[in-house]
Amino acid sequence: MAEVKIAAEITASVWQIQAKPGDQLAEGDTVMLLESMKMEIPVAAPRAGRIAAVLVAEGDQVEEGQAVALLEA
């Protein structure tokens, strides 16, 4: 089991968190939606695994490259 950081690819605000710790995700499943330039931008699981932690809350500002969740894969 490796712990994989799921990073925001853009600077944005956290709009809607869709996965919670313990959820099993397939590769490409949406973890959360960020909002940038009035668009909802999905953050997808880079591979299949279980969400170990969500590191941000709705409304938070995140930077490009910032880890927003941890995945056990």
Stretch that binds other proteins, among 3-11, 18-26, 45-53 (CB under 8 A): 3-11
Which of 24, 39, 48, 58 touches other proteins (CB under 8 A)?
39
Q: Is 27 in the site for other proteins (CB under 8 A)?
A: no
- Rg of the chain over all Cα atoms, to the nearest angstrom: 11
Q: Is 26 in the site for other proteins (CB under 8 A)?
A: no
Residues in touch with other proteins (CB under 8 A): 9-11, 36-42
